[in-house]
Structure 1
Amino acid sequence: MAQISVHEPDVALSDPTLVEGLPGVGLVGKITADHLVETFEMTHYATCHCEGLPDIAIYHENDPDITGAVRLYADSDRDLLVLQSDVPVSPNAAEEFAGCLTGWIREHDALPLYLSGRPTDPDDDRATYGVATGEAGDILAAHDIAPPDERGAISGPTGALLYEASRQDVDALGVIVEASGRFPDPAAAKTLIETAIEPITGLTVETDTLLEQAEEIRATRQQLARRMQQAQEESSKAEPVGMYQ
């Protein structure tokens, strides 16, 4: 049965922002979500049991307990939720997963912030762009997050989540950042946090360690990155679409 199982019902949230961290291009969402959870020492709040997600047990360093693969973490003081995933979501499961999560988001009056990388050969300046559903476009304008400069598509589960938000008339934000299409990209995650997550949430997030630990982050995420390259159709990414494609 598709559901979100809440483990910590006493955690109080009021119109929270939900930052999505599914694996995709440059693993920008994954790196961002992991960094937020670790930096704020967030509470394991809920587990996603949506149709199509793999039934696997995840174990963690210095912890005997196991968890599901796709989890929600919460910080009541910051009114923040983070979706953390240790596996790519199969394209065959994207529609069911999007419907499952979007229904829960709607019930809990959360504002989802979906993250996607646009594959490029990045330099020090990583451009970011914003898209929105419902009335959330006003939030992008208020924080000077520009719309994309060309026509394109967001694929994978992140694209499915944005499309489902549009279908259900849920306000949602999508932020696209230029990122490496070959390697985990902590610099792109840093850009996402500084240009979008901080201004939208009003939070201050320490990001220097993302660059200081860049090699360590790349090494620990490399196996997942290889899996993403072997199955590109599972990857959430934003890419240009020609006028007649």
Structure 2
Amino acid sequence: MARINVLAEDVDLDAPFLIEGLPGVGLVGKIAADHIVEAFDMVHYANVHCDGIPPVVTYPEDDSRLTTPVRVYADPDRGLLVLQSDVPVSPAAATEFADCVSGWFAEEDVTPLYLSGRPAEKGTEPPALYGIATGDGADHLERAGIDVPSEMGLVTGPTGALLSHALENDTTAVGLVVESDPQFPDPEASRALITNGLAPIADVDIPTDALVDRADEIQRAKEQLAMRMQDVEEESTEARPLRMYQ
């Protein structure tokens, strides 16, 4: 039965922002989400049981207790939730997954911040970032000074399904799209997401020095998942331009 099982009932949250960290292009959302959970030592708040999540379990280092591969972490002092995922969501069940978590977001008065990588060649300039939105999400983007897209585009995968759900149901959501490496984990793009997108929207100072210092380590640690994502490309969240004439 699809549900979000809250574990930390004593955690008090008041209209928090939720950062989505599903695996996608460059693993930008996952790297950002994992970093924030670790940087703030966030509380394991809930386990996610939704269609589309593989029937597997995960176990942490130095701990025998099993957890679900998709979890929610909380930081009530900063008004943050993070959706952390160790596995991709099946594209065949992306709609059911979106219905499952979005219903809970509405009940908890959550404003979701959805993250996506846009494949781009690496250059000398910092990766470009822009925002998209539904409902009152555009107000958050304007307040944070985040650019709008320079060309028409499309968001696919589970994150696309989540944004589609928000649009269809006229709820507020923010999407952040960053240029990222199309083949390998991209900590630099994740840092741009955090520094130029998540931090100003949530009005939270999020340190990223460790993300930069450990970039090589992070890249190696995520390589295996990135290779799996290439094998099942249709499962990957991705933003891409829609060029009408090419």
TM-score by length of 1: 0.98
Partner of 1:94: 94
Deviations 1:83-139 (A, max 9, x none): 000001110110000011111001111100000000011224110010000121111
Tell me whether 1:71 sits opposite 2:86 in the alignment. no
**In 2: Cα distance, 1:105 partner to 1:161 partner:** 11
Q: Distance in 1 between matches of 2:191 and 2:243?
A: 29
Tell me the distance in 2 between the aligned counterparts of 1:135 and 1:52. Answer: 28
1: CA distance, partners of 2:70 / 2:88: 9
Are 2:127 and 1:135 aligned?
no
Letter of the structure 1 residue corresponding to residue 55 of structure 2: D
Question: How far 1:25 sits from its partner (Å)?
Answer: 0.5
Q: How does 1:24-43 map to 2 (within 5 A)?
A: 24-43=24-43
Aligned to 1:242: 243
Pairing of 1:173-192 with structure 2 (within 5 A) = 173-192=174-193
In structure 2, the partner of 1:7 is 7
Cα pair 2:23 2:85 within 8 Å, conserved: yes
Deviates more, 1:44-53 or 1:11-20: 44-53
List structure 1 segments (4+ residues) > 3 angstroms apart after TM superposition.
none
* Range with bigger deviation, 203-212 or 226-235: 203-212
CA deviation after TM superposition for structure 1 residue 244, in Å: 6.2
Asked whether the 8 Å contact 2:42–2:73 carries over to 1, the reply is yes
In the other structure, the counterpart of 2:60 is: 60
Query: CA separation in 1, counterparts of 2:202 and 2:240?
Result: 26
List runs of 5+ in structure 1 lacking aligned partners: none
Indicate the SS of the match to 2:223: helix
Which letter maps to 2:180?
A
Do the aligned residues in 1 keep the contact of 2:6 with 2:47 (CA within 8 Å)?
yes
Partner residue, 1:118 = 118
Q: Percent identity?
A: 53
- Gaps of at least 5 residues in structure 2 are none
Residues in 1 aligned to 2:73 and 2:122: alpha-carbon distance in whole angstroms: 30
